[in-house]
A = this chain, B = another copy of it.
């Protein structure tokens, strides 16, 4: 493995950051700016065909914040990059001691809603930006994508099969975890199975079939080792011929009282193929043998298959889910929204770049429900405004310490399932879902207006 993998542990990711975080912090240090500031981590907009986000990645973000520190080796590297001794001494004792508010992992969320809100001396709050964005971006992107795939499958099992083309080792682990949170039944990733306790699944590859003189020899060889509930891959040469051979070995097993689990198809026209295969199996009295489909699947393809009533029992979904192929990133950003003045009062801050405005001040998000308990709308308010909705942001860290223990993966998965169930169906269609209403409180709207005016005057625009 490359040398860097030694760095991948909780105590050594402090340099996994953009260089400018360090130069800005050095400038803050030189200018003796140690006042608290507040940053919001949020997603600017919904990608095409997404109508909600499923928030994931909080556990890692909080672990990072608890553990970030600088080693002598790292400080030595920074010294060679020209950082001054005073700042390096500051980093030597660096810990994150701020306050964090966040929505729980597994929350259904929307654009512009703060997902994390961090208040800390500005150097501490700034330095953690890059890692937090990197971590939340990937995990929320995948949980969101996987949630769409699971919805499209309408209760049929979805197994995460994308490890080979997921972008790197960390992604391979995080995709397994995030898609499990989103409702996938399991993963092909054995390490994720071991580390996270996620159920692992797999069948066999074409190479296994090809390594035997005949396809049916390969089936028998595999069943010798794994007789129970095995799924046979039947499309190495021809899916229909493969199904007939699978039926032969299924009946050989049946004589011994063993049930073949299923057959997998991974290529060709899955509608036509699954119908013919189901027909072959049913004709031979093998109604209990399931049809498992894989190969280039995503929420769009699964919707199409089920719209055409393809008799498929479960899906292995790989590359397109594991890379969020139609949109492999989120517009996740981390923006300053408040600074503290010399007189200890707070100033709300906003950015006014073209098309990239941000919301000023320390904020809260409130959720309102319909009479049937489903989500009706959200309102973003200033943090100290009263509201009748449910407050979404919860204080999770104080002075750099966790407020309480974190939920287990199963708890997060359950919370996500509940959240998604409470999102009205119209927001869960694969395409053309309406926009969920997210409003700004009157007070926040007024503040935006006032600040725009002030900035225009101050900066001579």
Q: Does A164 contact B (CB under 8 A)?
A: yes
Q: Mark A19-51, 1 if CB is under 8 A from B, else 0.
A: 111111011111101000101000000000000
Q: Mark A196-238, 1 if CB is under 8 A from B, else 0.
A: 1000111111111011011100000110111000000001111
How far is A64 from B168 in the complex, measured between Cα atoms in Å?
A: 13
Q: Mark A72-94, 1 if CB is under 8 A from B, else 0.
A: 00100110010010000000000
B contact residues around A215 at 8 Å (CB): 459
Q: Does A191 contact B (CB under 8 A)?
A: yes
How far is A51 from B208 in the complex, measured between Cα atoms in Å?
A: 32
Shortest distance between the CB of A218 and any CB in chain B (Å): 9
- Say yes or no: A163 contacts B130, CB within 8 Å: yes
Q: Does A335 contact B (CB under 8 A)?
A: yes
B contact residues around A332 at 8 Å (CB): 164-165
B contact residues around A173 at 8 Å (CB): 2, 4
Q: Which of A5, A16, A236 has the most CB of B within 10 A?
A: A5
- Say yes or no: A63 contacts B1, CB within 8 Å: yes
How far is A17 from B20 in the complex, measured between Cα atoms in Å?
A: 36
- Say yes or no: A15 contacts B458, CB within 8 Å: no
Q: Does A389 contact B (CB under 8 A)?
A: no
B contact residues around A144 at 8 Å (CB): none
- Say yes or no: A167 contacts B167, CB within 8 Å: yes
B contact residues around A174 at 8 Å (CB): 167-168
The segment from A299-307, A321-329, A436-444 that touches chain B is A321-329
Q: List the B residue with the shortest CB-CB distance to A187.
A: B19
Q: Does A330 contact B (CB under 8 A)?
A: yes
Number of A residues near B (Cβ < 8 Å) is 125
Shortest distance between the CB of A368 and any CB in chain B (Å): 31
- Say yes or no: B226 contacts A26, CB within 8 Å: yes
Which residues of chain A in 3-22 are interfacial with respect to chain B, using CB atoms and an 8 Å cutoff?
3-10, 13, 15-22
Copies in the complex: 2
Q: Does A407 contact B (CB under 8 A)?
A: no
B contact residues around A19 at 8 Å (CB): 188-190, 193, 200-202
B contact residues around A364 at 8 Å (CB): none
B contact residues around A313 at 8 Å (CB): none
- Say yes or no: A3 contacts B195, CB within 8 Å: yes
- Say yes or no: A207 contacts B336, CB within 8 Å: yes
How far is A1 from B57 in the complex, measured between Cα atoms in Å?
A: 10
The segment from A249-257, A276-284, A347-355, A415-423 that touches chain B is A347-355
The segment from A109-117, A132-140, A376-384 that touches chain B is A132-140
B contact residues around A135 at 8 Å (CB): 168
Q: Does A403 contact B (CB under 8 A)?
A: no
How far is A332 from B323 in the complex, measured between Cα atoms in Å?
A: 14
- Say yes or no: B15 contacts A194, CB within 8 Å: yes
- Say yes or no: A206 contacts B351, CB within 8 Å: yes
Shortest distance between the CB of A173 and any CB in chain B (Å): 5
Q: A191-B15, A353-B268 are in contact. Are A226 and B27 (CB under 8 A)?
A: yes
Shortest distance between the CB of A321 and any CB in chain B (Å): 11
B contact residues around A151 at 8 Å (CB): none
New A-B pairs, 6, CB < 8 Å, besides A4-B196, A20-B205: A3-B196, A5-B8, A8-B170, A134-B172, A210-B339, A211-B336
